[in-house]
Every structure is written in C-alpha cells, then in structure tokens.
Amino acid sequence: MKKKSWAWITGLLLAAGLAFAGPGNNSLVVGASQEPRVIGDFWSFVSSAAIASEIENFLWAGLEYIDINGKDHAYLATEVPTVENGRVKVTDIGKGKKRIDIKYTLRDDIYWSDGTPITTKDVAFYYEVGKYPGAPVQDPSYWKRISLKVLDDKNFVVSFEPAYFYDLVGSAIGLAPEHVMRAEWEKTKAEIKKLDPKKDAAKITELFQGFVAKFATPQALNQGKLVFSGPFTLKKWVPGSSMELVRNKRFFITPPGGADKYVQRVTYRFITDTNALLVAILGGGVDATSSVALTFDQARAPQLVRRAKGRYQIWAVPGVIWEHAEVNKFANVQEVKDLMLDKKETRQALLYAMNRQGLVDAFFDGLQPVADTWVHFQDPNFNKNVKKYPYDPEKAKKILASLGWKMGPDGILERTTKDGRKVKFVLEYVTTAGNRIRERTEVFFQNDLKKVGIKVKINNAPASVVFSNDFFSKAYDGSWKGLFEFAWLFGIVDDAGVFTCHDYLTGETYVPTPKNNYSGVNFNWCNEEFDRLRAKAMIEFDANKRREYWQKMQAIWAEEVPALPYYWRSNPIVVKNGLVNFVSSTYFGSFGYPTTTAWLIGWKSRGAKPVYDQAKYGINVLEQK
C-alpha cells in the first residue's frame, strides 16, 4: 500500500512537469511554503514578505550586497564607499548629530534586461517616488533623513542628516527602471495632486499601491511589464502554483568557468501546506527549499532524515529570526478595548499563561531558545537581566483578576465594562495558514490560555493575505483584533524601529493610522523614555555608549511587553547532493537568504564551482544524534 501511495505522488509530480529537473537540464526547483503577493514592489507599498525578497535576489541587483560573512561588496556600484577611499564624508552638525555624504559610481557594463543602460536616472526615480508626499512607506525616518544629488549619468551622492549608525551598511538607496515606470508614475502623481493629503490619505495609499500593481502583479509580470537587473529574469508566474525564472543574458557577472555551467532555469513551487511540501521533497520534486519552507521539526522528521542520506543535505542555520506575536493595542477597536490588550498587565498575564519553554521542548527538543526581548542573546547589546516571564498560570490568573476578570459558568473569563456590557475574554489569534508549526503553536497556546479562562479564536489566512498592507498594517481599522504570529528578520543591524512610536530625530510617527497612510509597524505602543533612548542610540557611533542605551531600552520593553516574544529560530534548508552555492548564513544578504549570490548556484556535475561551504555556517542535521 505504501509503495502504491508513493508511486501515485511521484506521478502527480511528473505530471506537473516539475519533478526531477536537477542537473539533467541544468535547472533548479525550489520549494517554498509562501507565495508573494507581488514581485518588484521596490518601495514595499503593497507587501514586504520575506519570500518576495528572496526571489527578488534572483531578479534585481542593488548597489551593494552583503556576503556570507556579513561584509559589504560592490554590486552595481564600482566599489563600496568608505571614509578611506574618499567616498564617505562625515560632518558634525552639532548636538551629537552627524551628516554623512556617500558618493557612488555606477559600473559601465550594467543593463536592464531589455538592453537599456542602468543610470542615475533609475536611482533618482526610486528616490522621487519614495520621497513623494503621502507615500505609504514602512520606514518614514529613512525617507525624511535622506537626500540625493545626481552628478551625471554614473555618479551621485546620497546624504543622511542626521546619520544613523547603520547608514553605511549595505546599499544606501535603491533603484527602479525609470524608462519603464515613468509614464504610469506621472499619471499617478496627477491623480494624487487632486486629493487632500489629510482627508484622502486612504485614497492616496490606494493610488501608490495601484501604481505598483501596474508592474508587480502576476498578470503584469506575465505581460512583460517590468525589466530586471539581476542574474535571472521572470518568464512565467502561475499564481497558486509556481514561478519560473531564466538566466539573464545581460547580467554583468560571469561566474567561474562561464555562466552556462550554472543553473539556467529556476522554478519556485509554492506549496503553502508544509506537510504537502515535505511530501514533494520526499517524492523528488524539489531540489532545494526556500528560506521560507519547512518548519524546524519537519526538517528533522524521521521520514525525511531516513530518505535523505545519499540524496539530500539538511542544514540548520542559526538566524536572527524572531518568532513572536504582535498584539493589537489600538483601543479604538472595540475588541481590543474590551480585552484591555492596550494594558501592559494584560499582556504580562498572557505571557505568564503561555508555556513557551514547554513549546520549544515539545516541538524542537529545546534547540530553539525562548526569547526574552526582541534582541538576540548573541547580540553584543543583549541585556540578560531584563524581566522574565516563566510559565506561571497562577500568576496570570491573579493579574487577570486584578483587572476585573472573573471566571464565568462556561469556564471563560468575563467582566462588566463601565458602560454596563458583559464581555468575555475571547482572543483572536492570526497566523499564516498552512504553516504547520505555527498552526500547532496556536493549538498549544490555545490549550494553555484555556486553563486561565481565555478562549482563543483561530483566524488564519494565506501569507499573501495576512502580509498584504490591507491586512497587516491596518490593525487600527480592526483588520486583526488580537494576536498575530509571524517572524521579524532583524538583519545585520537592528534599529528598534518596529517598536518606535515617535522618532525624536525626524518627528515621524511609526504607528500605522489613516493619518500617516498606515506607515510604520508599531501597533500602538508608545513609551517616551524608550523613544528618547532610541534617538540617542541611533546617532551614537561609539559602540559601548550605544550598548548602554540599548540595554535600558530592553528593560523598558520587557516590563511593557508590547509584543509577545516566543523563540529564536534556526532556519532549516534542504539541498540535493551536488547542488553548490545554494547556501545560507545568519547574515547572508543581511537576512540569511540562500539566493544572495544567485549567479553562483549550480550543479557540480555540470561544471559549477563550489565557492561556499555550508558546513562553516550551519549544523548538519544528518550528523546530529
């Protein structure tokens, strides 16, 4: 019976035309558990999903890239700007603040995939759109601090005032194809000018998103509406199924031995149910997994480990990937007000009631450590002395009782509001549908919270839905009303921007509301001392002084718990034997993407040269007892 079952699965994979590609035709099939909503949203007006960023590494190049050791390298630029090479000028502007001027020169041999040269017009266009009033940007501070001076077709200067400590890490600015997008942008600008920024903020956001949609949706991309600067171009996107990329013949980097010796076609298979994805791997229909694919426990599953020997390598790569639950703290949402989620005591009670150590022991054999704050325990700024929340349901009950909650006859907490209404503690919990470990986490914590009288209502949807700006950013409107579990990738530097309410350096607010076109990702936690410490830290270039500020910020955060910290993830990747340079590290490309140097991915049997050794950057799961 088992043999027949596997034969049937294999037949389905073959029928899809995607199985067993591999070195035979010099192609690659990557399995992913998420599908992006758009590809080519250069400003993140519509979505900012990790899977989109990973795929975009194949399709577009930046000015610089961050290598597997976390070091900057020139990409479209001739060299990485530094003080030593005269391309970085630092000016003291008083009150502890500095201005940084960064000069870039574009290479002479860079072209868009349609043959159009890449010039400073493309940088200036990116700047113009992102800087335009009303743009629903996720980091308002960046756009307020930055300025651009174009010198000629190849040279330009990016300035930051005030400069932040991380402004010299990675590309200082992006670029977008001006010759393709300009006409549609002019139409969008004309429509925006007709509107009142204060009264019509939502409509302005829709116009920006509509502009991106003209180029970045599956339909637009399949019609050839966008061009590419990276090692691959997009050939076909079948929503809900797959995306096919082919080698970009105009790409300027030639890998060792010639581009023909490396992968010529890449197919992403989108299998949102991670159990089904595991089956596809076992059936041979996947050559490697995305950074957004199997859960940690699935990568160590006995059925995969048994079949992997001689066929696959399985790696666990330590990551600064923070699994957590955001809490909607907008009291204008009735459910938030009724449950008092805007009060720190409620959030503290939730943490005491949730057996996080029990979760990681049960699901990961304790190999993924419980998080205390948003700062990783290996970060030099980590504060080990912050307030902790061990599993203590009795303490949770006492806190909830102090807030007026009493156990109802049905075992659910209830209270009477000031306006005389009786409300029950029914908590919405949202996460990405099909992600097996997150769905199991929901059930695990659902049982924990039930013990203290809290009923959890699970309300999941696909990643493309929950991470769209219409859902993710609009907690103010009640798009989600309780907990939202996902992971932040903090990258090679952390600016605490996701928890900043008011930026005292720029005057911006990071709380997404209609007033600021839903910019920012702070779901209504405001602590003045935290924000002032963060403002000092951002302009402090002395690492020791910056550490002092960061440790105080963590103490405040741990007391207030604006979000519920779960654990730090190790990212599992599965790679077929013989595939080289599809590797990951904690900070490859800043976020650990295995596609950072996509032009080097290939099959050893086809002549591709191994450049990176994954053993230096991860744990071999097959060698673990």
Span 118-163, pLDDT tens digits: 999 999 999 999 999 999 988 888 999 999 999 999 999 999 999 9
12: pLDDT strictly greater than 50: no
- By CB atoms closer than 10 A (0-12, 13-18, 19+), residue 206 is middle
Question: Taking the mean position of all CA atoms in its chain, how far away is CA 75?
Answer: 22
Confidence of residue 15 (pLDDT cuts 50, 70, 90): very low
The HSE-up count of residue 514 (CA atoms within 13 Å, CB side) is 11
DSSP-assigned letters across all residues of 306-326: HHHTTTEEEEEEEEEEEEEEE
Give the model's pLDDT for residue 19.
47
Mean pLDDT within 456-485: 94
Mean pLDDT within 334-347: 98
Q: Establish whether the linkage from the previous residue to 218 is cis, with ω within 30° of 0.
A: no
Strand segments, DSSP code E, in 2-57 are: 27-32
442: pLDDT strictly greater than 50: yes
Class of domain 2-40+230-317+573-623: alpha beta
Give the model's pLDDT for residue 11.
38
Span 74-86, pLDDT tens digits: 999 999 999 999 9
Give the model's pLDDT for residue 13.
40
Determine the topology of domain 320-568 in CATH.
Dipeptide-binding Protein; domain 3 (3.10.105)
Strand 312-327 and strand 406-407: the pairing is: unpaired
Span 223-233, pLDDT tens digits: 999 999 999 99
Give the model's pLDDT for residue 20.
54
Angle at CA of residue 249, ends 243 and 252, nearest 5°: 115
Q: Is 22 left (phi over 0), alpha (psi -120 to 50) or beta?
A: left
Query: Nearest 10 degrees: CA dihedral of 209, 210, 216, 220?
Result: 170
List the CATH code of the domain at 70-216. 3.90.76.10
d(CA 95, CA 215): 44
Residue of higher predicted confidence among 424 and 542: 424
Span 100-110, pLDDT tens digits: 999 999 999 99
Helix (H, G, I), strand (E, B) or coil at 65: strand
Instruction: Tell me the domain boundaries of the chain.
Output: 2-40+230-317+573-623, 70-216, 320-568
| Prediction pTM value | 0.77
Give the model's pLDDT for residue 468.
87
Q: For the CA atoms of the chain, what is the radius of gyration?
A: 25
Give the model's pLDDT for residue 313.
94
Give the model's pLDDT for residue 356.
98
Give the model's pLDDT for residue 490.
82
When the pLDDT of each residue in the chain is averaged and rounded to a whole number, the result is 92
Helix (H, G, I), strand (E, B) or coil at 19: coil
Mean pLDDT within 444-449: 98
- For residues 423 and 415, the answer to whether their CB atoms sit within 8 Å is yes
Mean pLDDT within 347-368: 93
Give the model's pLDDT for residue 6.
35
Mean pLDDT within 361-388: 90
- 549 Cβ neighbours under 8 A, 6+ residues apart: 533, 534, 536, 537, 540
- For residues 68 and 583, the answer to whether their CB atoms sit within 8 Å is yes
Span 559-608, pLDDT tens digits: 999 999 999 988 899 999 999 999 999 888 888 899 999 999 999 999 99
Among 488, 491, 494, which Cα is nearest to 165's?
494
10: pLDDT strictly greater than 70: no
Span 166-200, pLDDT tens digits: 999 999 999 999 999 999 999 999 999 999 988 89
- For residues 542 and 329, the answer to whether their CB atoms sit within 8 Å is no
Which of 1-5, 235-239, 579-583 comes out lowest in average pLDDT? 1-5
DSSP 8-class letter at 454: P
Give the model's pLDDT for residue 591.
81
- The percentage of residues in the chain with a pLDDT greater than 70, rounded to a whole number, is 96
- For residues 485 and 429, the answer to whether their CB atoms sit within 8 Å is yes
**Ranked by mean pLDDT, which of 12-26, 300-314, 339-353 comes out on top?**
339-353
Mean pLDDT within 328-332: 98
- For residues 267 and 21, the answer to whether their CB atoms sit within 8 Å is yes
- 60 Cβ neighbours under 8 A, 6+ residues apart: 40, 228, 229, 230
DSSP 8-class letter at 354: S
- 375 Cβ neighbours under 8 A, 6+ residues apart: 381, 382, 383, 494, 550, 554
Strand 422-424 and strand 483-489: the pairing is: unpaired
d(CA 251, CA 247): 8
d(CA 392, CA 585): 36
Mean pLDDT within 11-23: 50
372: pLDDT strictly greater than 90: yes
Confidence of residue 469 (pLDDT cuts 50, 70, 90): confident
Give the model's pLDDT for residue 625.
58
